[in-house]
Chains A and B, each alone.
Chain A
Amino acid sequence: MLVVDDVTKRFGSLLALDGVGFSVQPGEVVGFLGPNGAGKTTTMRAIMGLVSVDAGHVTWQGSHIDATTRQRFGYMPAERGMYQRMKVRDHLVYYARLSGLSAAAAANMADTWLERLNLTARAGDTVQSLSSGNQQRVQLALALINEPELLVLDEPFSGLDPIAVDTLSEVLREQVANGVALLLSSHQLDLVAEVCSAVVIVDRGRVVLQGEVNELRATSAQRFVEVEFATPTDAVWPGAVVTGGGRRHRISVPDSADPSALFDEARARGHLVGYSFAPPDLSEVFLAAVGRTTVELPGATQ
């Protein structure tokens, strides 16, 4: 189990991490969420030993993480980190050897992952000749090449087309099914909701919310009423936060609200063709947790 315990890191006058704490179990996928600059990347780099922490601890299976332990981790940084002029297969073999694999095992793993990620045809091409999506696959292969026990992926989905996202999700699910502990950060909350069993939400260097995705949604003090009218209407909902308009309205209400009373209210405002009363989705939980109604989330909407 990965344990991040009360970790603090200061860069000059900036308190980047302020007592961050959470854990990731083997076979568990934890989504690491937060606005830009919240401290996600710093936390991940601290786990990988790329940042020295000022206070707190990071442990794996109860022990402090040293170079030897780290050889069993896989890491994918947010920025792509590869030798642009190196050939794809050579790059994988080189990194596998650095990860402690023998020459034969490294070649074997490289071929396995090239095939698994549909890169076999590009094995002899240089990294720079690949599309960004394919480069991302190579980067993922680098993280997986040593069959890691812990995977730390910083924004693995960014810049991928839906097909690549599918491939990546499938590979990750398979890894987790094999007992790998997976921590990934993303701004694509719909993907996180699909892939992750739990989330940790950080803001300004502090964990503001963490837990099982469904539990967080259910225990939220918020509910959402979604109504769909047959024709556009400018109906007003006194005292409520409303998004949408025209035919579709989405109204935020407290979890104590009575669904049937609300249904009657909606019906009074026009001819209904749809009605739902549901807990907030992950992005609404997220927004509530970071205390903002709108947050800059690149790639969060589509």
Chain B
Amino acid sequence: MTSREVIRLVAGREINQRLRAKSFYISTGLLVLVILAVGVISRLAGGDDAPAQIDVAVVADASVGTVESDDVVAAVQASAAVVDRGATVEFFDDLATAEAALRDGDFDVVLHPAEQQAIFHDDVDDEVLAVAQQAWAQVEVRARLGDAGLEPQQITEALAVAPLAPQVLDGDDETSGVAVLTGTLAAVLLFLSLQTFGTYVLTGVVEEKSSAVVEVLLVRARADQMLAGKIIGIGVAGLAQLVLAIVASMVSLAISGASVPAEVWSALPMTLVWFLGGFALYSTLFALAGSLVSRQEDAQAAAAPIMYALVAAYMLVFIFGYVPDSTASTVMSLIPPITPLLMPMRMAAGAASVVEVVVAVVLLLGTTMAAWKLAARIYEQVLLHRGSRVTWKDAIRLLRSRSGGEHSPK
């Protein structure tokens, strides 16, 4: 049998075992539900705060005389368009009816031209007021220009002023709230996946060692083949879960109705790539830790240094992820154990250059390969020393003594 066939068999078994466990479906289902719920909730919450359109009531009583209603509607809608909102305009004959409708929440503002007032229900909405002011000014100017003898066509041309386009000088302000939220979500998902599926690798390795399964397997397969198969199999299961979580996140974003920057749409699927890199590194280290102990009770203790590293990397995301353009953040995102968690956030914020991403990937892959070589060698050596707990120091000594001439039957 070729090495590839052996690895495929081992990986296939791992995938099968994962897909048969109810817990896998329950945790995946919960994850997807929670993510979708976030989108639904923010849409519902957002619906109150920032309605898409402004409802304006205009009191057109006899005293105003010649209010051109079409002009008013056009002016309000043009002003609202500047702040990306639509507008409806309704006319009332008397103030009391308009105010009652305002109290009922049917309108955002009542314009009362006769008194030159903009009436709000319980608080002044600055944006609505600004829209009203501009619309009012336009209607007034139009009326005065008409009084001055200009033709309507001339007035329209005179008033056709293109709005100013906003420009930002320093990039920081470009980081939208949605990008930060998405980057954080990616970091949380990655942390959960790396932790969950890394632990599967850890307990899987210890299961084999503690139950002597490894004795039976090593007769058929090499230690590195078994390790590779296990990591690939569990990684595929983890990837499947993460794909669902990412798809759910994108659906959730779409549901929420927030305006999503393009970087966010591309950063989310990239999370899968960062998972592969992060999982390769962390699961290799978890497997190494698992190979040092013979009982499940000792597994957590042996894996503690790796778990600490993962948690530390996760916490750094909340320090450096919110200042994605800073030098410190850039440097941190290039450190291999931190890269998979921090880089998605910087990418979602549009702060990571292509060069930085490439360098981070190269460093991550290099470290993973070095860890893999170390793990495969130590794994093989310690598997043959069953029954005792091997410390990290012993493992490294084993490695040295091996290169120092002890031979193994191959």
Seen from chain A, the residues whose Cβ lies within 8 Å of a Cβ on chain B are 45, 48-53, 65-67, 70-71, 73, 75, 77, 79-86, 90, 94-95, 97-100, 142
Q: A50-B219, A67-B222, A77-B216 are in contact. Are A83 and B211 (CB under 8 A)?
A: yes
B104 within 8 A of A: no
Given contacts A49-B409, A52-B409, A98-B6, contact A80 B211 (CB under 8 A): yes
Q: A94 to B226: give the CA distance in the assembly, Å.
A: 13
For A86, list chain B residues within 8 Å (CB): 13, 17
Q: B215 contacts which chain A residues (CB < 8 A)?
A: 45, 48, 50, 75, 77, 79, 81
Instruction: Return the contact of A94 from the options B9, B218, B408, B410 (Cβ within 8 A).
Output: B9
Residues of B within 8 A of A71 (CB): 1, 220
Q: Which among B9, B207, B218 is the interface contact of A83 at CB below 8 angstroms?
A: B207
B399 within 8 A of partner (CB)? no
**CB proximity of B245 to chain A, nearest CB, Å:** 26
- In the docked arrangement, what's the CA distance between A100 and B407, Å? 27
**With a CB–CB cut-off of 8 A, which chain B residues contact A51?**
384
Which residues on the A side are within 8 Å of B13 (C-beta)?
86, 94
Q: How far is the CA of A48 from the CA of B221 in the complex (A)?
A: 12
Measured CA separation A98–B211 after assembly (Å): 18
Subset of 13 A-B contacts with CB under 8 Å: A45-B215, A48-B215, A48-B219, A51-B384, A52-B407, A66-B409, A75-B216, A75-B219, A77-B212, A82-B216, A83-B207, A94-B13, A98-B6
Contact, CB under 8 Å: B409 / A142: no
A168 CA to B408 CA in the complex, in Å? 34
Tally of chain B residues near chain A (CB < 8 A): 26
Cβ–Cβ < 8 Å partners of B130 in chain A: none
B406 at the interface (CB under 8 A from A): yes
CB of B229, distance to nearest CB on chain A (Å): 10
Residues of B within 8 A of A97 (CB): 9
Bound complex: CA of A65 vs CA of B216, how far in Å? 16
Name the CB-closest residue of B to A82: B213
Chain A residues contacting B219 (CB-CB under 8 Å) are 48-50, 70, 73, 75
Chain B residues positioned under 8 Å from A95 (CB to CB): 216, 220
Complex contact A99–B220 (CB within 8 A): yes
Query: Which of B16, B207, B220, B408 meets A98, CB within 8 Å?
Result: B220
Bound Cα distance A73, B217 (Å): 12
Q: Of the candidates A50, A73, A85, A99, which one forms a contact with B17 in the assembled complex, judged by CB atoms under 8 Å apart?
A: A85
Contact status A53-B220, CB under 8 Å:
no
* Distance between Cα atoms of A95 and B410 in the complex (Å): 21
Nearest CB of chain A from residue B23's CB, rounded to whole Å: 12
Closest Cβ–Cβ distance, residue B220 to chain A (whole Å):
4
Which residues of the partner chain B approach A98 to less than 8 Å between Cβ atoms?
Answer: 1, 6, 9-10, 217, 220-221
B369 to chain A, nearest CB (A): 24
> Considering the chains assembled together, what is the distance between the CA atoms of A66 and B406 in angstroms?
18
Query: Which residue of A75, A85, A97 has the most chain B CB atoms within 10 A of its CB atom?
Result: A97
Residue from B207, B213, B221, B222 whose CB has the most chain A CB atoms within 10 Å = B213
- Chain A residues in 8 Å Cβ range of B218: 49-50
User: What mask results when residues 301 to 340 of chain B are scored 1 for a CB within 8 Å of chain A, else 0?
Assistant: 0000000000000000000000000000000000000000
Minimum CB–CB distance from A78 to chain B (whole Å) comes to 8
What is the bound-complex CA distance between A52 and B384, given in angstroms? 9
The 4 closest A-B pairs by CB, nearest first: A81-B212, A79-B212, A98-B220, A77-B215
The complex places the Cα of A83 from the Cα of B214 at a distance, in Å, of 10
Least Cβ distance of A134 to chain B in Å? 16
Distance of A86 Cα from B215 Cα, bound (Å) = 17
Query: CB within 8 Å of A: which of B181-222?
Result: 207, 211-222
Q: Knowing A97-B9, A100-B1, say if A81 contacts B213 (CB, 8 Å).
A: yes
Least CB distance from A14 to B in Å reads 13
Per-residue 0/1 for B265-301: is the Cβ within 8 Å of any A Cβ (1 yes, 0 no)?
A: 0000000000000000000000000000000000000
